Amino acid sequence: MTSRPLLALIPGEPAGVGPELTVRALQTALPADVLVLADRQTLHHAAAALHLPLELREVTAADPSQWEAALQWAREQAARAVICPLVQERETIAGQVDPHNAAAVINALNLGSDLALAGQVQGLVTGPTHKHVLKQAGFDYSGTTEWLAQRAGTSVVMMLAHSRLRVALQTTHLPLRAVADAITAESMERTLRITHLALQRGFGIANPRLLILGLNPHAGEQGDMGDEELRVFAPVIAKLRAEGMVLSDPLPADTAFLPKKLQQWDAVIAAYHDQGLPVLKYSGFAEAVNITLGLPYPRVAVDHGTALDIAWRGVADLGSFAQAIKQCAQMAMHRRQ
């Protein structure tokens, strides 16, 4: 058996850039073995649209004993991949979403989750999905992160990262008026513990250092601009510091991202989505990835949408997709150690 980790690779929405990026990634030397979970015809059609070679060898999820021979075949040459085929109801038309194909996307996510939970793959890489079309098809789908967390029965934290910055979120897709009420002592402690443990297990950082952003302007200005930093943040920070965690005081977001300050910390904990992510995306959008912390396996996704308007044209940036595979492989290797 190879020492390379085996990752399940899910292209996501078939009419978007996911199949294209999958085909293009398979033309390169990958840092891991991959088991593609997708509709075979869709991948072949995407390859044809891009004028790229692609050979696929089918295996079944129910019989892992046949995987190694197929994976060895794929290692021998680029543009080869092993696939667990998930047949769509209708043929994919690039750029045109179809609710009839939503079930194949959900089936791929479910199969990838099952394989990862069973330890048959060591990580999960996911392309962009289309929330509206999945909901339109009748799935109670608020996002892939939430879907995988529910199946694993775990609490999770969303982190976006690139080579120079990691940002984890206390809250994710909430209206701004709901953010303050959503940050409780319990939820904050859970976020910090999940992030701390994930940095140890998935990134090999023995004693993670977490920079915590305050909720309010100037981190509350000693209560003059909001008291959450004093009432919620400070007691949690004191409790976890007593256990040995390295945590900052709540810091103003407008100065926390100065490069010299960031060098002292391993990750930033943002209070809400648009507090931390604009800085991260501005500083490295093409290589940024979305990491789900708290799952019992590494899961990394691209940090962009389905890009229906440019699907299968060969112009989409491969950077985030390639980085997602690389990051997931690295996290899988750290977990082995």
3-state DSSP call for residue 16? coil
d(CA 224, CA 221) in angstroms, rounded, equals 5
**Cβ-contact 302, 289 below 8 angstroms:** yes
**Both structure tokens of 85:** 């085929």
- Residue 299 marked in a binding site: yes
202 and 298 Cβ atoms separated by less than 8 Å: yes
Q: Is 44 annotated as a binding residue?
A: no
Is 239 within any annotated ligand binding site?
no
What is residue 277's three-state secondary structure?
helix
- Give the span between the Cα atoms of 49 and 113, in whole angstroms: 30
Q: Does 196 appear as a known binding residue?
A: no
Query: Is 273 among the annotated ligand-binding positions?
Result: yes
Cα separation, 159 vs 222, in Å, equals 28
- Looking up tokens 């978007």, which residue turns up? 16
Phi, psi dihedral angles at 77 (to 5 degrees) = -160, 145
270: which strand partners? 169
290 among annotated binding-site residues: yes
**What is the arrangement of strands in the sheet containing 209-212, beginning at the earlier edge strand?**
55-58, 80-85, 33-38, 6-10, 123-126, 299-302, 289-293, 157-162, 165-169, 267-270, 209-212, 246-247
Known binding residues are 145, 173, 218, 273, 281, 290, 299
Which residues make up each annotated binding site for substrate? 145, 281, 290, 299
Point out the annotated binding site for a divalent metal cation. 173, 218, 273
